[in-house]
Structure 1
């Protein structure tokens, strides 16, 4: 019997087994490197989730540039994963590579600002409409620092998140709704205190639940992606954010927009494009063109409260900041990326290709009569195993089928196309071509045909 995805389990198992064999046979060098790394790296990789691609052993990369990369065995790939947004503007954009190379001759880190700091501050303020900025090494750090600031200036302890969210590895956000009950995520390792004491969670697009959660007056901030991207794409319903913003303001809480993924919406992110007016704005991995860095911006009124709170606190470490934050290489990368890579023209190119990709996928899915849908946020496209786009995290999670995802991703990989390992998310970059998009759509349709045993 076919699952909710319309795919027969036996056909899925057969295809996955065949593709794993094909992968292994074609990559002896990657396999040798995996065995070598296994002697000293946990799970044989620098970070354990690098084994989440559904491959028999990790794929080792030789080089990456633009929309393509090469593996250790000499295979060439079109990359629609793009470092899960870290390389959203392509691998090693020329202006960023040149800026980092030049700065490398002048020093890496000093714990002191240079001219780039002043310029980057100006560029961020102009682009995102918030006057004040601080820096971090990752979006995880930026979110952690923002939560600390929000609690400090409001005197409140709680953070509110949406079910199925992802904001890096900040402890406070690992709370889900399980049968309607806030529950600490059971996959979280080493957690020794109850996160639900200080984290509230509601479904995305549920204004009634949001209002109830804010009513007690103990929520310091609502931390949210303007459109959810981690549990599968979940778009805001018409009018949701306007009403939610009013509720958050009325409750005296702060709105934090984490746009590390939704920067795909446009040069100023989703919040600027749709008038969300966040109190805090967080942007991680794409802002430096793939170099490790992150930023968070805030309003003038909030900046005054932050300065007053810091001045009133006893001397000592604030718990905010790391010694490599805003290092010279990161600042040079951000300046080059903001000035020369994250341009209106680049976004226009990406939007056109993402539209082409979404249309092509919808047509392919429709030709085979599968109960799947396609969603898009600017340069980001995703197909999900449900007939209509989900409206909250629970619906999006229910639509997932990790076995089918692995099979599709591996099928694509074996034919020179990479998408993200975590769900069916795809990005286009300024170097992606229409031919690349058409190739992806064709391979997806080929995989569907094999899975359901039909040809169109």
Structure 2
């Protein structure tokens, strides 16, 4: 690849982006009272200096305030995995707000038991509770694990993603031991006081850390996602389950992003048997919700302990957790939108996406790869595909990523801004995938000319 050509093409695409989106640029310039000029600072992850501003979103498309329509393969980085404003969710939320009322009443609704039963069917663990985010679900799972094991530390994979959980911001250092993840903001203490870390797919490294005897739980994604999709090697997840049992640690599967693997995420698709499952984002059809599920044995153990105050000292989520609106949205999403049949179609579209990208990579003999996790796929600028989080982080190429993101956006296709990940929804069409394939092929052709 000619890096000089890449730099020139990126500059051209940045100019085009700025010229095509004057209203978004002006809105960003006027935003003087927002920290970082955006509602959340991660919205500044844009390749051309300012974000596109949302006007409307329906199904698999979004429209910005400059009037441009986009095929949305980002889908709220999983939050809109059901598609934007799916009709059953709109109906359920409208009924809860306008007809029944009572969004927040500190009282349960019958929808909550239906959602918990459906999550049990999908993920296998039979006792569920709710939060407002997967981050909160993970925090509560960690507290429960420490409570029942009387152990202080949680073990993570290097460059994992579990929201803003403080304990999870740990990576493997040069000496093979844990260090704070670069860029960590306002850590309450040295992360090695609360956490241990091992590389994904490293069974020996995992056992070394568990052998210290102070690990309450291993909290992991069954496949890494936010550092780029890193798939488990044959036998790895079975070894994790064996070792956690051997060393007396609980196993927590965070399925927030890996839900793309199927109706029950990787847990259901691969027959996994964790002690706790956490999930968020996608199950609410765009309405904030998180959930955590416990095995029957663990739930009974926790509930039998008189010294644990699960009411006043629970410390999870606050009074809005499990609110009537969120669980109504989750019921509609799981019952009518993200169904078993929908996942079959979504995965087929992701396979078509993967096939088309592979054809371009092979046509130019590029040292790139693409990995697929059910309804999700991501291309990487390295070959072979990374086998752990640290090697995945090292494979990043910011300039090349910016070029592809801008080239696609300038021609009506959006990827997740943090990486080259595409997610299919029940509303995504073959034409949407073909649009990406066409523009991606053109971007590579110009780069390699």
- Scaled by the length of structure 2, the TM-score of the pair is 0.97
Counterpart of 1:281 in 2: which secondary structure? strand
Larger deviation, residues 263-272 vs 307-316: 307-316
Determine if contact 2:89/2:329 at 8 Å carries over to the other structure.
yes
CA displacement, residues 296-336 of structure 1 (integer Å, 9 cap, x when unaligned): 10111000121123554598423233111111110110111
CA distance in 2, matches of 1:235, 1:126: 24
CA distance in 2, matches of 1:215, 1:280: 21
Determine if contact 2:131/2:316 at 8 Å carries over to the other structure.
no
CA distance in 2, matches of 1:398, 1:320: 35
**Residue 62 in 1 paired to residue 55 in 2?**
yes
**Residue 413 in 1 paired to residue 390 in 2?**
no
Determine if contact 2:82/2:338 at 8 Å carries over to the other structure.
yes
Alignment counterpart, residue 80 of structure 1, candidates 68, 73, 78: 73
User: Cα 1:253–1:411, aligned 2, differ >3 Å: closer, same or farther?
Assistant: same
CA distance in 2, matches of 1:383, 1:58: 23
CA distance in 1, matches of 2:444, 2:345: 28
Q: CA deviation at 1:392?
A: 0.7
Alignment counterpart, residue 360 of structure 1, candidates 352, 356, 363: 356
**Residue 292 in 1 paired to residue 288 in 2?**
yes
CA distance in 2, matches of 1:339, 1:394: 38
**Residue 386 in 1 paired to residue 382 in 2?**
yes
Alignment counterpart, residue 50 of structure 1, candidates 18, 43, 58: 43
Q: Provide runs of 4+ in structure 1 moved above 6 Å.
A: none
1:444 is aligned to: 440
Determine if contact 1:152/1:309 at 8 Å carries over to the other structure.
no
**Residue 135 in 1 paired to residue 130 in 2?**
yes
Counterpart of 2:292 in 1: which secondary structure? strand
1:336 is aligned to: 332
Q: How does 1:223-302 map to 2 (within 5 A)?
A: 223-302=219-298
1:14 is aligned to: 8
Counterpart of 1:92 in 2: which secondary structure? coil
2:147 is aligned to: 152
Counterpart of 1:309 in 2: which secondary structure? coil
**Residue 33 in 1 paired to residue 27 in 2?**
yes
CA distance in 1, matches of 2:155, 2:270: 21
CA displacement, residues 69-126 of structure 1 (integer Å, 9 cap, x when unaligned): 1000110000000000111121111101110011012121112101212222222222
Determine if contact 1:86/1:286 at 8 Å carries over to the other structure.
yes
Counterpart of 1:165 in 2: which secondary structure? coil
Counterpart of 2:5 in 1: which secondary structure? helix
User: Cα 1:20–1:215, aligned 2, differ >3 Å: closer, same or farther?
Assistant: same
Alignment counterpart, residue 100 of structure 1, candidates 75, 78, 93: 93
User: Cα 1:51–1:321, aligned 2, differ >3 Å: closer, same or farther?
Assistant: closer
2:302 is aligned to: 306
CA distance in 2, matches of 1:81, 1:166: 17
Q: CA deviation at 1:368?
A: 1.1
Over the aligned positions, Cα root-mean-square deviation in angstroms equals: 1.3
Determine if contact 1:417/1:440 at 8 Å carries over to the other structure.
yes
**Residue 172 in 1 paired to residue 167 in 2?**
yes
CA distance in 2, matches of 1:333, 1:134: 15
2:395 is aligned to: 399
User: Cα 1:249–1:216, aligned 2, differ >3 Å: closer, same or farther?
Assistant: same
Structure 1 unpaired stretches of 5+? 1-6
Larger deviation, residues 198-207 vs 115-124: 115-124
CA distance in 2, matches of 1:408, 1:258: 30
Structure 2 unpaired stretches of 5+? none
Determine if contact 2:378/2:421 at 8 Å carries over to the other structure.
yes
CA distance in 1, matches of 2:168, 2:311: 29
- Scaled by the length of structure 1, the TM-score of the pair is 0.95
